[in-house]
Structure 1
Amino acid sequence: MDESPPDAPDTPDTPGGSGDDTGANTPWHALEADEALRRHDAAREGLSGDEARERLERFGPNALKPPEKAGVLRRFLRHFHNILIYILVLAAIGTALLGHWVDTGVILAVVLINTLIGFVQEGKAEKALDAIRRMLSPQAVALRDGERREVPADTLVPGDIVYLQAGDRVPADVRLFEARNLQVEEAVLTGESVAVEKDTAAVDEGADLGDRRGMAFSGTLVSFGRGTGVVVATGGDTEIGRISTMLGEVESLETPLVRQVAQFGRWLAGVIIVISAATFAFGFWVRDYPLDEIFLAAASLAVSTIPEGLPAILTIALAIGVQKMARRNAIIRKLPAVETLGSVSAICSDKTGTLTRNEMTVQALMTGAGEYGVSGVGYAPHGDFTRDGVEVEPADAPCLEEVLRAGLLCNDAEVFEKDGQWVMQGDPTEGALVTAAFKAGLNTRHEHECLPRTDVIPFESDHRYMATLHHDHDGHGRIYLKGAPERVLELCEHQATADGREPLRADEWHAAMDAIAARGQRLLAIARRETTAEQRELTYGDVEQ
């Protein structure tokens, strides 16, 4: 059966060598692990406690340096730096001189509310942006004085030997020298939704970040397997540290709205001054009005011309836009940036996984009985199955239901509802299979009770498949297998159809695979074989016989 779900300068202050040996620009991924150890004057036995403390003083803590921030008062006053606000303040002074205290209070209230909205929103955005500096792991397992110890991640130094296992957040940039079935989710750096298989081999110096398989990068998540490596970069010298540094170096540019409002404010101020001055001159020199009367008349005219509500309307409209963006998990630091998004005419993205939600979804299922479509998006178990445009109940399609059951049982991911949202723990592809099974009405607990798992062969890149052994309560054994389609087809001799088991028609499967792949969908194959009640262990020989 087949299933188709969808550079900083070098620093001379480095251990055991010159800045050229261990500088921030050193291509650690292109060096053998032993060479990385040598350049850091380290060994696989780890550092001593004294050496670790000395290096910590030299390099500083393994933490991202927070950018310099303006004080609260300065940030608050900065929101008064707007020509319309200046005009409103002058208007408030003018109305106060005229004795119109109600108008003065209204204008000052508008100014204060306008400033507070912008100030509060900027504060919220600053807190959200600070989250990137909390992506470093709080704890790490390192080899110190010949013993494995759990240490605070911010005390790690270049040359430390660290251990990684499933569920860990990588605490620093690490050059791996041991990797067993190690897979790391690097979406935070590359945007790719699928975990990257890691090994210890050096790669070309020009390799892209996602192709540096001998490296585990700070802030990424270990999703499977185990690994050991030497810390080669900490804090701001890590890849995620460079991202944080670049964010701090972003220059502030005036948005189109800010430029237009500033231009309007200058024109408005000019018009008000000209009209008021002309009124004063005409009344004083032409009509011989008393000085105090004509001055008050000109001042009143100037105040009445000012659009007191414009800044408030602009701020409120932009604040509503910010709140809508926040509900979609988009951080807006400054209010005028919302309007800038409306001026975007083209968005360029490198590839799938960068702008998407990092969620996999099963969209099509190909069985010996035909192809089925699957509706729904994400991990919410809401969707239907169709064939040739007609809705199908999986219970009425044995091949379809069995492939969904196999995908659910030969699986280590979990999908569950939390705070009204469906979330997934594990590999995204496996999560997509669990969701597809839920759409068919299958229940994880019930299926595992009916067919408990007896043994498992975890996925390995060398074999390109995962296999699980199950037995029902009558003792009947069953092996489920999922993996790369071409590899699974090599191990199969028959295919399941609506009429029963038939000889495998490999050419038809390859043609179907090509057609589905042409739609931009990833391919995964699933197979099943019956076995005896006596078999309680699963080996590669059992699968590949």
Structure 2
Amino acid sequence: MSTPAYAQDVPAVFEELGSRPDGLTGAEVAAARERYGSNALPQAAEETWWQRLLRQFRDPMIYVLIAAAVMTAVLGEVVDTVVIAAVVIVNAAVGFLQEGKAANALAAIRDMLSPSSEVLRDGAWVTVDSAELVPGDVVKLRAGDRVPADLRLFRTTSLRVEESALTGESVPADKQVEPAPTGADLGDRTSMAFSGTTVAAGAGRGVVTATGEDTEIGLITTMLEGVEAAETPLTRSMSRFSSMLAVGAVLLAVLMIAVSVIIYDTGWADVLMSAIGFAVAAIPEGLPAVMAITLALGVQKMADRNAITRRLNSVETLGSVTTVCTDKTGTLTRNEMTVRAVHTRGHTYRVTGTGYAPEGQLLLDDAVVTVHDHPDLARMAEVAAYANDAGVDKRDGRWVLTGEPTDGGLRTFALKAGVRDEAPRRAEVPFDSAFKYMATLDDMPHGPVVHLKGAPDRLLDRCGRQSCPDGGTEPLDRGYWEERIEEFGARGLRVLAAAWRPGEELEDLTEEDVDAGGFVFLGLYGIIDPPRDEVLDAVRVVQEAGVRVCMITGDHASTATAIAREVGLHGSRAITGAELEKATDAELQTIVRHHDVYARTSPEHKLRLVRALQANGEVVAMTGDGVNDAPSLKQADVGVAMGIKGTEATKDAADIVLADDNFATIAAAMKMGRTIYDNLRKAIVFMLPTNGAQGLVIFVAMLVGMTLPITPLQVLWVNLITAITLSLSLSFEPAEPGVMRRLPRDPDASLLDSEAILRIIYLSVLLGGATIAVFQYLQMNGASLEVSRTIAVNTLVVGQIFYLFSARFARVSALRKELFTTNPVSWLCVALMLALQLAFTYLPFMQSAFRTTPVDAVTWLVPVLVGVVVFTAVEVDKLIRRRVG
């Protein structure tokens, strides 16, 4: 359509679609289906299990190990081949099992579509599968129906549609036949009903203007398909690290081969086995498994705190987030409308408490008041109780609304005031979006009364007088009330008004009776969807961690600004969807640097905002609960969905689901993410000196032409048991002090800084040099090759145990009581490590497999002495850094 359907008159829409109010004929439907296709959303291809399994092998370090396994097989070293292959398979299996099945958000969106529809064809109403709808079909809507396609409404009766999943609106939208202005935001297109939304009240008819992927919800699925899953900072860092390590290992192995063949004329079989041994020594085979297990432990800990992680790497990514983009309704706020203020001619009363729980106080100048002492407040509570069809009840320890959210807020206010609708209702005029009020005729103890509530301008038109604080009346001062209405609106409050008049002469109540006027204007209700109680502290904690918090909502700008100010977000005003629409991508990157609040946004706006932040180098977490949030959640580095009020589409597009819909849980999960990254880094810095030492031993041995102090199979043993036991114990380290008071790490920064690299180098030299020295000393003193190699391996292992004690504390001294109290798992792992090493040394079948031999107890003093030297060296290094820093 040249002009959008929502902005056209109904006859023009019918004409453009080739339809009419009495629907299409069978022939017209067939022609339209041929042209437009089925009213269905596209199917998404799912990743198969074998594709996911093959993906686990895409790692340069794994490529080197696979090559090593092939070469040992060619050389006939069956045991080495089996062990190396087992390492590769175990690593892949751990990643495969932990990652789980890829989610399909598009399937969840398809489930939102209505299965059947009541449609007018060939002059008769028939029920058809919604997939058979075509543009031009005339569809009937009733309360509770799910809208089957995008409809231009041409008949409405008190029609209200729940669109929060699509637009982010806190309350159902009133629908009308009159066209909306061209360029209206999605939430302001009052002449349309959108596919996937739900009819909350009333009835209506509409003509189908779009089906399938051409609908607003279809556009969301198209955006979802176009969003590529971004690599996490950890994945990028590990990929660079693995590539550098693998390339370095291969180049040095080639150099060793060249030196051995050219200078020492060593046989090719021995040279290749030594090169394989070096490559295996340089590659931390246990690192992928340690990473996967550490992340899995983090997943479990986060689940205990109501953050359910669907993708493993997201655990760590949340700890490196620099900007959190959050929806308002249901995330920062409770999604429960609450009366915050009541204004009468004499007073402004403040109402405490949030949500539908009738727990709170009525305050005047911070003093608690009751309706018994304030007649003006009593009248306001009376109208809230009687001109109301909603109910709030306590179920399973939770207050639950039955009816409209705004009416629920008014009902709760009345209950806080102690007023209940106990008098019988004689008649009523239900709320209708055409006249925007509700009126009831109630048999009150002092006589029949008409209670009236609704839009302030409609009630002011029907009132000639206003209530005084003492209960009397005076002429209406419309200008005064319009100023108060503007003040409430500026505070982001949804404003409703209350009025009443005696109804002795009425037997029934009609719209004409209400429009006849004669009402007394009582005052205004200021209503808002309030922030969650814990959000203020959570936002402060996140901001103290150097993380920006941005609000992106489909709600009105004034409401968004008010909530942002209340929860402590930065920014003087909200940027609207209309402003975002006009901005180029380059301009948007500038806008997102300086503004944190965005209102009246569409799904496309949210997606553009996330991309603009990422283009500025931000690591973005996006929270949401509606299907309109799904594309931006998928685009974000970490998508966070609400578990209670979130749609299935949102949950499937997200990486993390909050079981309690609580923004405060994000702050706790961020702390966990930072702790996990710290522990992963500790594990890497702990593991690499072992690899460096082993690589150095083999490299030096080949360069100088000496016998290898440790065999390739013994190298694998040391790598695996230190990874499985000692390295893994670092996953249980608690958070370091001040973890949430430091800035987020640079996502492009190297996994290892200069301090870590220097420590790895000098520890590699220290451990490797000690191992070579011990081996050479034993060889020169007549010890057998098996004894020398056994004690050399023990030296490496015990040196690593002593290093673990120091590595648990990155900068502070390890000589503290926390060494014994904060991580008991580390001591269990040390005990397991020693048990395995004793088995390696003394059990016959282990001796046969690894070519070891029993050694005297006194020989263990040598590894212990080396361990003490290692521990002392690291502690001195930390002391110097603390003094210099």
Task: Tell me the TM-score normalized by structure 1.
Answer: 0.78
| Greater relative contact order (Cα < 8 A, sep 6+) | 1
Distance 1:95 1:432, change over 3 A: farther
* Amino acid corresponding to residue 527 of structure 1 in structure 2: A
Q: Judging changes above 3 Å, is the alpha-carbon distance between structure 1 residues 149 and 52 closer, same or farther for their aligned structure 2 residues?
A: same
Cα 1:493–1:91 change in 2 (3 A) is farther
> Which residue identity lines up with residue 463 of structure 1 in the other structure?
F
Q: Deviation per CA, 1:24-66: give whole Å up to 9, x if none.
A: x762223332232233332222223454355445533211121
- CA change 1:294–1:84 in 2 (3 A) is closer
Instruction: Determine the structure 2 residue equivalent to 1:19.
Output: none
Residue 392 of structure 1: CA displacement? 5.3
Write the distance in 1 (CA, Å) between the matches of 2:62 and 2:383.
66
Deviations 1:190-239 (A, max 9, x none): 22223333222334443333333322221122223222121121111212
Query: Equivalent residues in 2 for 1:11-410 (5 A)?
Result: 27-49=4-26, 51-53=28-30, 55-83=32-60, 85-86=62-63, 99=79, 105=86, 108-120=89-101, 122=102, 125-126=103-104, 128-278=105-255, 292=269, 295-316=272-293, 318=295, 334-337=311-314, 339-340=316-317, 342-346=319-323, 358-367=335-344, 370-390=347-367, 399-400=376-377, 402-410=379-387
What is the one-letter code of the residue matched to 1:44? P
Shift of 1:264: 0.8
Secondary structure of 2:453's aligned partner: strand
Q: Percent identity?
A: 43
The question of whether the paired residues in 2 share the 8 Å contact of 1:199 and 1:213 is answered with yes
**Residue 452 (structure 2) pairs with residue 471 (structure 1):** no
Q: Shift in Å at residue 146 of structure 1?
A: 1.9
Q: Distance in 1 between matches of 2:13 and 2:253?
A: 75
Match of residue 12 from structure 1: none
> Would the aligned equivalents of 2:158 and 2:432 in 1 still touch at CA under 8 Å?
yes
Give the direction of change, closer, same or farther, for the CA distance of 1:325–1:503 in structure 2 (3 Å limit): farther
- In 2: Cα distance, 1:362 partner to 1:475 partner: 27
Quote how far apart the aligned CAs of 1:244 are. Answer: 0.9
Amino acid in structure 1 at the alignment position of 2:90: A
| 2:497 alignment partner, SS class | strand
How many residues end up aligned between the 2 structures? 511
- Alpha-carbon distance in 1 for matches of 2:305, 2:12: 46
Q: Give 1:241 deviation, angstroms.
A: 0.9
CA distance in 2, matches of 1:395, 1:232: 55
Q: CA deviation at 1:83?
A: 3.8
Question: Is 1:430 paired with 2:402?
Answer: no
2:495 — aligned with what? 523
**SS of 1:271's equivalent?**
helix
Structure-2 change in CA distance of 1:214 and 1:527 (3 Å): same
Native 8 Å contact 2:147 2:196 kept in 1: yes
1:265 is displaced (CA, Å) by 0.8
Equivalent residue for 2:466? 494
> Which letter does structure 2 place at the counterpart of 1:470?
D
Equivalents in 2 of 1:79, 1:411: separation in Å? 59
Q: 1:95 Cα deviation (Å)?
A: 9.5
Cα deviation code 1:152-174 (max 9, x no counterpart): 22221222111112222211111
Q: Which letter does structure 2 place at the counterpart of 1:456?
A: E
Indicate how the Cα distance of structure 1 residues 324 and 408 shifts in structure 2: closer, same or farther if over 3 A, else same: farther
How far apart are 1:324 and its partner, in Å?
Answer: 8.6
- How has the CA–CA distance of structure 1 residues 462 and 233 changed in structure 2, closer, same or farther, with 3 Å as cutoff? closer
8 Å contact from structure 1 (residues 384, 439) kept in 2: yes
Q: Structure 1 residues 416 and 137 mapped into 2: Cα distance closer, same or farther (>3 Å)?
A: farther
Q: Distance in 1 between matches of 2:68 and 2:415?
A: 64
The range that moved more, 350-359 or 396-405, is 350-359
Does the C-alpha gap of structure 1 residues 274 and 452 become closer, same or farther in structure 2, counting only changes over 3 Å?
A: farther
Deviation at 1:301, TM superposition (A): 4.2
Partner of 2:426: 454
Deviation at 1:86, TM superposition (A): 4.3
Tell me the SS of whatever aligns to 1:467: strand
More displaced 10-residue stretch of structure 1: 173-182 or 419-428 = 419-428
> Shift in Å at residue 496 of structure 1?
5.5
Aligned equivalents of 1:480 and 1:488: distance in 2?
Answer: 11
CA contact (8 A) 1:318 1:336 kept: yes
Aligned residues of 1:359 and 1:379 also touching (Cα < 8 A): yes
In 1, Cα distance between the equivalents of 2:348 and 2:14? 53
| The one of 424, 435, 452 aligned to 1:481 | 452
Query: Aligned AA for 1:69?
Result: E
Query: SS of the counterpart of 1:459?
Result: coil
Letter in 2 for 1:159: G
Q: Distance in 1 between matches of 2:154 and 2:441?
A: 32
Taking the aligned partners of 1:478 and 1:115, their CA distance within structure 2 comes to 70
Structure 2 CA distance for aligned equivalents of residues 332 and 282 of structure 1:
50
* 3-state SS in 1 of match to 2:100: helix
What are the ranges of 5 or more consecutive residues in structure 1 without an aligned counterpart? 1-22
Query: Which letter does structure 2 place at the counterpart of 1:365?
Result: V
How far apart, in 2, do the equivalents of 1:410 and 1:31 lie?
35
C-alpha distance in structure 2 between counterparts of 1:317 and 1:465, whole Å: 58
Distance in 2, matches of 1:88 and 1:366, equals 75
Answer whether contact 1:476 1:533 (CA < 8 A) is retained. Answer: no
Query: In the aligned structure 2, how far is the partner of 1:325 from the partner of 1:176?
Result: 46
2:389 aligns to what? 412
State the secondary structure of the residue aligned to 1:68. coil
1:5 is matched with none
Amino acid in the other structure paired with 1:465: Y
What amino acid is the match of 1:481? Answer: L
Q: Which amino acid aligns with 1:99?
A: V
Give the number of the structure whose residues are more often helix, by fraction: 2
**Alpha-carbon spacing, 1:79–1:55, altered in 2? closer, same or farther (3 Å):** farther
SS of residue in 2 equivalent to 1:436: helix
DSSP 3-state at the match of 2:430 = strand
**SS of corresponding position for 1:73:** helix
Bigger Rg, structure 1 or 2: 2
Q: The residue matched to 2:438 in structure 1 has which SS? A: strand
Alpha-carbon distance change, 323 to 240 in structure 1, aligned in 2, over 3 angstroms:
farther
Q: Alignment RMSD, CA only?
A: 4.0
Change (3 A) 1:403 1:283: farther
